[in-house]
Structure 1
Amino acid sequence: MVIYPAICHFEDDGYWCEFPDLKGCFSQGDTEAEIVENAKEALDCYLESYLEKDEPLPKASKITDIKTSGKDFATYIECDISNTGKSVRKNVTLPEWLCRRAEKASVNFSQTLQESLLKKLGISAITTN
């Protein structure tokens, strides 16, 4: 999971939002609930472009450092980057005994490998400062 703060602005009977740490990442919506949902979609797409270019993700600001006024508000938006982008199939080799135990424990091999790779690459979680 990656988490970034977003600033949601009320304007002309609707909302638009920006991510202070992600230049050019914006979204809009008619209601507070819709702007948060649309912001998640914008974040997913924005981060996918970073990951496809093999660029490091920007560090997230603290939400307490963000100032708002009027009907504007700051909120965290999260994205599950393990589901971002297209998937590829990989064959792996492991000891038979380990495979049996994992299957008996109903381990999801794909999810476990993804989580391990994200952790190994230092992108298992993006948290605020």
Structure 2
Amino acid sequence: MKKVDRYYYPAIFTYEDGKEIAVTFPDLDCATSGEDEKDALLSARDLLGCVLNGLEEDGEPIPPASRLCDMKLEDNERAVLVDVYMPSIRNANVNKSVNRTVTLPAWLNAAALERNINFSQVLQEALKQQIL
């Protein structure tokens, strides 16, 4: 089954004096916030991508998005349609770096440092060679 490239979900932006803008996704039962509208929208997009990517990776069903016009709002709330381009999210998670602790003999560590050898690069090249 082909994965969806772009999702659109309604979010509710809640405004309160002196506080960050709260952002909730009623269809996904998750929330974030932002200092201003731009920051809130960027945070909402990041959260939407993370949640949907997690559902995809876990094989969970993606809930249908509600219609923007069906959102029930208070006076201090606004409905905003948030989109996310999933290929970018998926690729970012595939190429995400992780830290590993490596134990080396002291003499080998000293010799490598003396020669300005990039430990991460050497390890990556060696692992690729072993795997491929």
Category of TM-score, reference length = shorter chain: 0.5 to 0.7
Match of 1:31 in 2: 36
> Are 1:55 and 2:60 counterparts?
yes
Give the distance between the partners of 2:89 and 2:45, measured in 1 at CA.
12
Matching of residues 1-129 of structure 1 within 5 Å: 1-13=6-18, 14-23=20-29, 25-85=30-90, 86-87=93-94
3-state secondary structure, aligned to 1:58? coil
- Determine which structure has the larger helix proportion and give its number: 2
Task: Tell which has more relative contact order, 1 or 2 (C-alpha 8 A, sep 6+).
Answer: 1
3-state secondary structure, aligned to 1:11? coil
Q: How many equivalent residue pairs?
A: 87
Match of 1:104 in 2: none
Match of 2:105 in 1: none
- TM-score, normalized by length of structure 2? 0.61
Give the distance between the partners of 1:45 and 1:58, measured in 2 at CA.
14
Larger radius of gyration: 2
**What's the offset of the Cα at 1:46?**
0.7
**What's the offset of the Cα at 1:81?**
1.4
Give the distance between the partners of 1:43 and 1:62, measured in 2 at CA.
16
Give the distance between the partners of 1:32 and 1:42, measured in 2 at CA.
15
Give the distance between the partners of 2:17 and 2:35, measured in 1 at CA.
10
**What's the offset of the Cα at 1:78?**
0.5
Give the distance between the partners of 1:84 and 1:34, measured in 2 at CA.
18
Give the distance between the partners of 2:37 and 2:75, measured in 1 at CA.
14
**What's the offset of the Cα at 1:30?**
1.2
Q: Amino acid of the residue matched to residue 42 of structure 2? A: E
Identity of aligned residues (%): 30
3-state secondary structure, aligned to 2:53? helix
Give the distance between the partners of 1:71 and 1:33, measured in 2 at CA.
17
**What's the offset of the Cα at 1:12?**
4.2
Give the distance between the partners of 1:62 and 1:29, measured in 2 at CA.
23
- TM-score, normalized by length of structure 1? 0.62
